[in-house]
Structure 1
Amino acid sequence: MQPSQLSSGDVIADRRADYAKMLDEGGEAEAAAELMEQALELTPAWAAGWYRLATYREKAGKADAAVEAYRRTLELDPEDIFGAGLKLALLGDAEMPAHPSSRYVERLFDDYADRFETSLVEKLDYSVPQKLAALVASTGRHYHCAVDLGCGTGLLGPEIHARVTRLEGFDLSQNMLAKAAEKHVYDHLGQADLSLTSEASGIFADSAPHRADLVTAADVLMYLGNLESIFAIVDDLTAPGADFVFSVEDGGEGDGFILAPSLRYAHSQTYVEGLAAAHSFEILETVKTVIRKDGGKPVSGILFLTCKTD
């Protein structure tokens, strides 16, 4: 859920916040911030309002004041459903978190579910499902059980359905899972938090470990910084000979990951290769490609086809 959709509970404060939003959309961020400050004088415990104020201050070039408002947001909303912790990291006021708040990611995609495919596919030229499906097809295999991690609305499912006997999908967002169910290609759909350990993630609640001979993750790893939990989950999902096919945003040189202004993470090829080796996944193929547009500009990504060796 976007912060602009959360009411303060005070009619006058909400009205001022609405005017502030109009000013911001008209390119008057400083005036928007001033009006938002007035709204918050009436409702000082309104976390969403503080987040909006922070964004207006940031747009107006007032970084220190924005940091103050993001900090206040986080104090009022310790679950961090707005991603204030990520913003503070980008502004240099906090260390980069290993991953975002799960509540932030869940809320983000619960709100995004109804317009997700229209926005991503039709407007942003999103092509990862087709490109990952091509890597899966290149193996020539038919899989007994495939697990689609971070399945979202199920864009990858139809692309690989003909190559699998059983297809499972997991996502953090219940609204995204509901959209995936409408495609009628998944044999099982469940909620899972990929930032947690295998035991706590929810993926093994009703099903056995080492059941998958294919695991896919299309455009989900950019919502996790440290990918240790993902590789541990996939390790527990698979037996030797299983394939793991996934995408990341290209983090360039180096051996780690970065947090981008988009509030998504980008991972270097070296970092992914190191994790794959540590978890006994041999990289069979890598593809560097444009995975979508963001702000009208192409976003570079890396696709990986890997196989578990032992």
Structure 2
Amino acid sequence: MLDPKNHIVALNYGNCLADAGMNSQAVDVLQAAVELSDGMDSELFLNLGVAAKRSGMKKLSIDSLRRSLELKPDQVLAKRLMLAQIEDGERSKDQDWYLTEKENAEYARILFDDYAEKFEEELTQQLDYKVPEQIVELLLQNVMNHSSLSSPDQISWNSVLDAGCGSGLVGEAIHEYTDRIFGVDISQEMVKKTRERRCADGQKMYTMVEDQELVAYMRAQGESSFDAIVAADVLCYFGDLVDFFKEARRILATGQCSGWLAFSTEDVVEGKDDGKAARGFCLLNTGR
């Protein structure tokens, strides 16, 4: 039974329900927590907004996230998820809450620091996630199609950049074809996972892994530093990609097997997206 004098008990219980995937029940409990509180707990409204979003309760989610922001204007998770649900025509009143590039990076850091422990298990075992293997396979095939090589076994890069390396799944797929893999990720917790990766012989899979914002890392690299760059499920957390592509071009080497940039994106179907695709990039309801 919930303690009528302490909304924290209800908040924690609601969070447990949400973590267990019981989002509609979590909404009920978190709404009760709001009634028990003084209405000044930003985290409570954030968690209610997230649970409501997962339950398809759009208005409740937006209202809760907006209240979280009123109480704590630098709450980037609330900003991102609120804006993802607001239609373009409704955004003028929220114009001060658009995310900067710094806030986009902070959103990704928070998201993946929290997700790091269960990230790989959920993706590979529960969701049968294959993007790293697929993107590397396509990269190898394209290298062969545009060179005199007849087999992937002939590909031997000097250095590859795993841009937004996460827990190192791209490294597992590509390490046989390169002498060195460099990784960078905004999430310190993800970087820890990547640094622990080992090849079959026990050697470290990655030469060096840095926890840093991706474009800032790229700007610090010398020209022609990498033979290939792979960004698997990374660019969907950016907005404008001009600086990313500019730096990628600068730090990529040239040669028969060099100069390759491989990345994945999410589909935005033109004509079914309220005109968002025409702008080049947009924030989807998923928060990506």
For normalisation by structure 2, the TM-score amounts to 0.74
Taking only aligned residues, the RMSD between alpha carbons, in angstroms, comes to 2.7
- 1:202 is the counterpart of 2:217: yes
Letter in 1 for 2:106: R
With over 3 angstroms needed to count, the CA separation of the structure-2 counterparts of 1:114 and 1:53, relative to structure 1, is: closer
Equivalent residue number for residue 250 of structure 1: 267
**Distance in 2, Cα, partners of 1:125 & 1:74:** 36
Out of 194, 201, 213, the residue aligned to residue 193 of structure 1 is: 213
**Distance in 1, Cα, partners of 2:285 & 2:134:** 25
Spell out the pairing of 1:109-188 with structure 2 (5 A cutoff): 109-138=112-141, 139-140=143-144, 141-183=155-197, 184-188=204-208
Letter in 2 for 1:102: A
Equivalent residue number for residue 288 of structure 1: none
CA contact (8 A) 2:162 2:182 kept: yes
Quote the offset at 1:23 in angstroms.
Answer: 7.2
**Distance in 1, Cα, partners of 2:159 & 2:226:** 5
**Distance in 2, Cα, partners of 1:229 & 1:114:** 31
**Distance in 2, Cα, partners of 1:17 & 1:118:** 27
Spell out the pairing of 1:81-120 with structure 2 (5 A cutoff): 81-92=76-87, 93-94=90-91, 97=99, 101-120=104-123
What is the DSSP-based 3-state SS (H/G/I as helix, E as strand, rest coil) of the residue aligned with 1:82? helix
Letter in 2 for 1:257: F
Out of 215, 219, 244, the residue aligned to residue 229 of structure 2 is: 215
With over 3 angstroms needed to count, the CA separation of the structure-2 counterparts of 1:60 and 1:19, relative to structure 1, is: farther
Out of 27, 37, 40, the residue aligned to residue 37 of structure 2 is: 40
For normalisation by structure 1, the TM-score amounts to 0.69
**Distance in 2, Cα, partners of 1:218 & 1:159:** 12
Q: Tell me the percent identity.
A: 29
Larger deviation: 143-152 or 132-141? 132-141
Quote the offset at 1:62 in angstroms.
Answer: 6.6
With over 3 angstroms needed to count, the CA separation of the structure-2 counterparts of 1:130 and 1:62, relative to structure 1, is: closer
**Distance in 1, Cα, partners of 2:106 & 2:217:** 15
Equivalent residue number for residue 6 of structure 2: 12
Equivalent residue number for residue 152 of structure 2: none
**Distance in 2, Cα, partners of 1:214 & 1:233:** 13
What is the DSSP-based 3-state SS (H/G/I as helix, E as strand, rest coil) of the residue aligned with 1:202? helix
With over 3 angstroms needed to count, the CA separation of the structure-2 counterparts of 1:144 and 1:61, relative to structure 1, is: closer
Equivalent residue number for residue 70 of structure 2: 75
Larger radius of gyration: 2
Letter in 1 for 2:261: F
Quote the offset at 1:89 in angstroms.
Answer: 3.9
CA contact (8 A) 1:98 1:224 kept: no
With over 3 angstroms needed to count, the CA separation of the structure-2 counterparts of 1:48 and 1:161, relative to structure 1, is: same
**Distance in 2, Cα, partners of 1:187 & 1:137:** 21
Runs of 4+ aligned residues of structure 1 deviating over 6 Å after TM superposition are: none
Out of 5, 17, 31, the residue aligned to residue 28 of structure 2 is: 31
**Distance in 2, Cα, partners of 1:227 & 1:262:** 19
Structure 2 stretches of 5 or more lacking a match? 145-154, 198-203, 271-276
CA contact (8 A) 1:154 1:180 kept: yes
Q: How big is each residue's C-alpha offset from its partner over 1:121-140, in whole Å with a ceiling of 9 and x where there is no partner?
A: 11111101111111232224
Quote the offset at 1:190 in angstroms.
Answer: 0.8
- 1:261 is the counterpart of 2:247: no
CA contact (8 A) 1:17 1:39 kept: no
Q: How big is each residue's C-alpha offset from its partner over 1:92-151, in whole Å with a ceiling of 9 and x where there is no partner?
A: 343675766322210110111111110011111110111111123222432121111000
**Distance in 2, Cα, partners of 1:149 & 1:32:** 40
CA contact (8 A) 1:167 1:186 kept: yes
Out of 214, 236, 251, the residue aligned to residue 237 of structure 1 is: 251
Structure 1 stretches of 5 or more lacking a match? 1-10, 265-310
Equivalent residue number for residue 224 of structure 1: 238
What is the DSSP-based 3-state SS (H/G/I as helix, E as strand, rest coil) of the residue aligned with 1:103? helix
CA contact (8 A) 2:182 2:207 kept: yes
User: What is the number of residues matched between the two proteins?
Assistant: 245
Larger deviation: 17-26 or 83-92? 17-26
Letter in 1 for 2:170: L
Larger deviation: 51-60 or 173-182? 51-60
**Distance in 2, Cα, partners of 1:26 & 1:117:** 23
